[in-house]
A and B are shown apart, each in its own frame.
Chain A
Amino acid sequence: MTLHIDIPEETFSSILAKAFRNTAFVTGFVITLLILAMAVVSYIWTPYDVTKLVISDKTQGPSLAHWFGTDHFGRDILSMIMVGARNSIAVALVAVGIGMGIGVPLGAFAAARGGLVDEALMRINDLVFAFPALLSAIMITAIFGPGAVNAIIAIGIFNIPVFARVARAGALAIWPREFILAARAAGKSTTQISIEHVLPNIATLLLVQGTIQFALGILAEAGLSYLGLGAQPPMPSWGRMLFDAQTRMVVAPWMAIFPGMAIVITVLGLNLLGDGIADILDPKSRRQR
């Protein structure tokens, strides 16, 4: 007899209990929550108005009045980071949404159909993948003009093949299983089977990929707005802040340090969150603690 240690299928509460023993998950979760909270609070309140220029306060170092200092127009850096967070998150979130919304059905469809359809779709995918994402994003924004919306579309398009691949790989592993055969014998259509059986079984995979793409999206947005192709002034964004800080690094290092840290911490938090989720949901990575 094989060693059939039946791993108990998890209930929601047991997953939750396990989640809170996982250091990576807890750290990532707290950081992400803080960043999100910061973005939400910025709609209601920021320490200072980020659109008002107070030239008399320009390039001041961190103080009690301005915790993170001010920029060359006398705007409060903390307030700008808070407002910038919502811009970064919105861009990354919608981009991930586009990637998932188009990529996952595409991948699932390719896996379900197989044969030539699969082959063709995946080769198109490879083609999109072959373009360096950031360069192509620059191209798109250069053609359609800079701005947050175009940045979203550009980043979103390059998320599609990522999700399509992950969804297809996951679905391919599910399709030969017997319960799928049973569903087919029961007369269910491929679409129905994909929705009812395949997607729920690859959901965790997609969730993990989602957090990773979310982090990459934030980086990409910062990159684009650093190049002036993302959100346009006076709307503050992290990448733009870094660009402004570049020429004043020596005199006003805080202008670069704090937005830089915001990016690093957010990406780190999201990556930890993704790692944590992968760890918790993957029975194979279960270790004895």
Chain B
Amino acid sequence: MSLLEIDKLSLTIGDTQILKDMELSVASGEVMGLVGESGSGKSMTALTVMRLLPHAARATERVTFDGIDILGATEDQMCALRGDDIGMVFQEPMTALNPVKTIGEQVAEGIRWHTKATRATAEERARKMLDRVGLPEAKFPLSRYPHELSGGQRQRVVIAIACALKPKLLIADEPTTALDVVLQAQILDLLRDLVAESRMGLLLISHDLAVVTEMADRITILRRGEVTEAGDTARTLSAQLHPYTRQLAQASMHVPARARPHDASQSKPLLQVEGVTRDYPGRRASLFKRAAPIHAVDDVSLLIAPGQSVALVGRSGCGKSTLARMILALDKPSQGTIRFRGETITGKREAELMPARRDMQVVFQDPYGSFDPRQKVEKLVAEPLHVLEKKPTRTERREMVAHALHEVGLDQRDMDKYPHEFSGGQRQRLSIARAIITRPKLVVADEPVSALDVSIRAQILDLFAELNQKLGIAYLFITHDLTVARAITDEVLVMHDGKIIERGKTSEVLDHPQSEAARALVTAAPDLHRAIAKRMQEQG
């Protein structure tokens, strides 16, 4: 019998049906991948197993864990299960840890609670667990606080908490989505080893088909609360019997059609970045000693030609975003100059930047955070218009907004709505509408699709490609996702520790990376083709 058995589970919250006749099972030592787009009920499935549902939720039929009927269990029984037999790893390592407690306390907490161990023994076990997840004592004593750790290290602590008591089942809800590809590969390796070591069952929830394919023995595909297809990972994904499975697989490998790759050689550069450095003051060692500055961006030079699409790839914290901010004149370089259309923009005052701002726009990562929730779409999309020399009248403005909305595939009637009335993908379209309304020459896009579902990501990439062809907009794509870079850019710059360490044609750099950092990125990036092939090979 399986460890976890979900049988015909239905879940409603209020009047909304979240899950319908959900079926899923996880055996000991098995990795089950649960895949679906946002809103498909993946997280709700995890919360049902943990019985951590919101109050208004009603679950019916059966969930059995190790012979215990979860839906019928008392709260006391559940408390005994949670953290002891069932561990959970959350997506956001920044918020999953309590900022005022040391990591030692947080790992030991569960051990003490469940085993009634003394503080000393609990801490000893916590120490061992932290060693196991790759946080050795010398660098990471128990007395460290979460804010002293990086995102990947924090996720290791979360995993240590979840696995401290050798649970029978580990639920990992998008454990690597908030991390860059290199960290993602490391965390996935760790999870795989832990599962193999103690024969845990792992329920891995993810929107990323490639990640799940690499990890899972079996896979369940969820769509709008219903299981569309389930079975052996390699077979399911190579056969792609269900149309939705095919749609998901294609979307995650999608490459937009781009008629002509841009030839940068003949024209004058649109953007010139020359020897730009951005220093932040380091932590002071003592009152009298000046701390060595930290170079967030270190002597970076780059060129972008009109209409050219360039990717800036690198791990998180490598200085990509800082560089983007300086290009957008939102931050000042400590050294070096940035020229846009031949004019220097560094060191200019806000008023003098107006003409440059007109031709330079930005699309941010988070489609939820990049709009003022209290303004209507018309005003939000029209925001950049005020840099125009001639202020448009109200009717002209509405026309321009309508046109921009039309260009990104939205209805012009949408302009009287508020941003919360749109889905994530639609909001990203709104950001793009806002970015192209002034007909800019350059759009800087900071991880523009990493918060989106695969099918929506494919659509947005298509839109970027189309606008590049139609309007001749040059792009600077900042991303840690190489599939995005491959899909839409002509040239790639690889950034590491504030420096650009490799540059060249996208396909060349990504197929034959020269530098070590670039190679790390390329090998760590999950790839669906490769993952399926590997699985098939393993099974013979």
CA distance in complex: A183, B371 (Å): 9
Q: Once the chains bind, are B386 and A9 in contact (CB under 8 Å)?
A: no
Q: A185-B360, A200-B372, A200-B374 are in contact. List 7 more A-B contacts (CB 8 A).
A: A1-B91, A3-B44, A177-B369, A178-B364, A179-B380, A185-B328, A186-B384
Note all chain A residues with C-beta closer than 8 A to B361.
185-186
Is there an interface contact between A186 and B420, defined as CB atoms closer than 8 Å? Answer: no
From B205, B380, B386, A188 is in contact (CB under 8 Å) with B386
In the complex, the answer to whether B56 meets A1 with C-beta atoms within 8 Å is no
Residue of A nearest to B434 (CB): A182
Determine if A288 is an interface residue (Cβ-Cβ < 8 Å). yes
Minimum distance in angstroms from B41 CB to a CB of chain A: 10
What residues of B have a CB within 8 angstroms of the CB of A201 in the complex? 372-374
The residue in chain A whose Cβ has the minimal distance to the Cβ of B37 is A1
Contacts of A288 in B (CB 8 A): 55-56
Report A106 CB to chain B, min CB distance, Å: 22
In the complex, chain A residues whose CB is within 8 Å of the CB of B375:
196-197, 200
Residues on A with C-beta less than 8 A from B91 are 1-2
State how many angstroms separate the Cβ of B390 from the closest Cβ of chain A. Answer: 15
A117 at the interface (CB under 8 A from B): no
Query: A6, A178, A185: which has the most chain B beta carbons within 10 Å?
Result: A185
The interface bits of chain B over 309-343 (1 if a CB of A lies within 8 angstroms of the residue's CB, else 0) are 00000000000000000001010000000000000
Contact between chains at A179 and B371 (CB < 8 Å): yes
A288 and B362 alpha carbons, distance in the complex (Å): 40
Asked if B127 CB lies within 8 Å of chain A CBs, one says no
In the assembled complex, A284 has its CB within 8 A of some CB on chain B: no
Query: Which of B276-284, B292-300, B349-357, B526-534 lines the interface with chain A?
Result: B349-357
**Taking the nearest CB of chain B, how far is it from the CB of A259, in angstroms?**
42
The contact string, 1 if C-beta is below 8 Å from chain B, for chain A 1-23, is 11111101100000000000000
List A residues 118-177 near B (Cβ within 8 Å): 177
Identify the closest chain B residue to A2 (Cβ).
B91
B516 interface residue per 8 A CB criterion: no
Q: Give B359-401 as 1s and 0s: 1 = Cβ < 8 Å from A's Cβ atoms.
A: 0111011100111111100001001101100000000000000
Does A52 interact with chain B (Cβ within 8 Å)? no
In the complex, chain B residues whose CB is within 8 Å of the CB of A177: 369
What 5 A-B pairs are tightest by C-beta distance, nearest first? A187-B357, A186-B384, A9-B420, A178-B369, A178-B370
Q: Which residues of A in the span 99-115 have a Cβ within 8 Å of any Cβ on B?
A: none
**B351 CB, min distance to chain A CBs, angstroms:** 9
Q: A6-B420, A185-B362, A187-B350 are in contact. Are A1 and B386 (CB under 8 A)?
A: no
A1 contacts across to B, CB distance below 8 A: 38, 42-43, 91, 173-174, 177, 205, 207
Interface pairs (13), CB distance under 8 Å: A1-B205, A3-B44, A178-B370, A179-B371, A179-B380, A181-B362, A182-B371, A185-B361, A185-B384, A188-B386, A197-B372, A197-B375, A288-B55
Would you call B140 an interface residue if the criterion is a C-beta within 8 Å of the partner chain's C-beta atoms? Answer: no
Complex CA gap A201/B375 in Å reads 10
CB distance from A247 to the nearest CB of B (A): 55
The answer to whether B362 and A182 touch across the interface, beta carbons within 8 angstroms, is yes
User: A9-B420, A178-B369, A187-B354 are known contacts. Are A4 and B38 too (CB-CB below 8 A)?
Assistant: yes
Question: In the complex the two chains form, what is the Cα distance from A185 to B56 in whole Å?
Answer: 42
Please measure, in the bound complex, the distance between the C-alpha atom of A179 and the C-alpha atom of B431, giving whole angstroms: 10
Kindly provide the distance from the CB of B368 to the nearest chain A CB, expressed in whole angstroms.
Answer: 8
CA–CA, A239 and B464, complex, Å: 69
Q: Are A181 and B387 touching (Cβ within 8 A)?
A: no
From A178, A187, A200, B384 is in contact (CB under 8 Å) with A187
* 0/1 string, A176-220, CB within 8 A of B gives 1: 011101111111110000001100110000000000000000000
B174 x A2 contact (CB < 8 A): yes
Knowing A179-B369, A179-B371 are in contact, say whether A186-B42 is a contact too (CB < 8 A): no
Distance (Å) between the CB of A279 and the closest chain B CB? 18
Interchain CB contact under 8 A, A181 and B420: no
Q: Which residues of A contact B362 (CB under 8 A)?
A: 181-182, 185
Known: A179-B370, A179-B372. A185 touches B357 (CB 8 A): yes
- A184 to B386: give the CA distance in the assembly, Å: 12
A186–B207 Cα distance when bound, in Å, is 33
Are A182 and B43 closer than 8 Å at their CB atoms? Answer: no
Of the listed residues B207, B353, B383, the one surrounded by the most CB atoms of chain A closer than 10 A to its CB is B383
- Tell me which of B42, B360, B365, B370 has the highest count of chain A C-beta atoms within 10 A of its own C-beta: B370
Say whether B92 faces chain A, with CB atoms less than 8 Å apart.
yes
CB-nearest residue of chain A to B431: A182
Query: Which residue in chain B gives the minimum CB-CB distance to A5?
Result: B54
Q: Given the complex of chains A and B, what is the CA–CA distance between A1 and B92 in angstroms?
A: 9
B517 interface residue (CB < 8 Å to A): no
Of all chain A residues, the one with the shortest Cβ separation from B361 is A185
Known: A3-B43, A189-B350, A201-B374. A182 touches B364 (CB 8 A): yes
Contacts A1-B205, A9-B420; A183 near B330 (Cβ below 8 A):
no
- For A197, the closest partner residue in chain B by CB is B372
Query: How many angstroms from the CA of A185 to the CA of B205 in the assembled complex?
Result: 36
Determine if A8 and B420 form an interchain contact, defined as CB atoms under 8 angstroms apart: yes
Q: A5, A6, A178, A186: which contacts B387 (Cβ < 8 A)?
A: A186
CB of B38 within 8 A of CB of A182, answer: no
Q: C-beta contact mask, A268-289 vs B, less than 8 Å → 1, else 0?
A: 0000000000000000000010
Determine the distance from Cα of A113 to Cα of B309 in the docked complex, in whole angstroms. 35
**B 187-211 to A, binary, CB cutoff 8 A, 1 in contact else 0:** 0000000000000000001010000
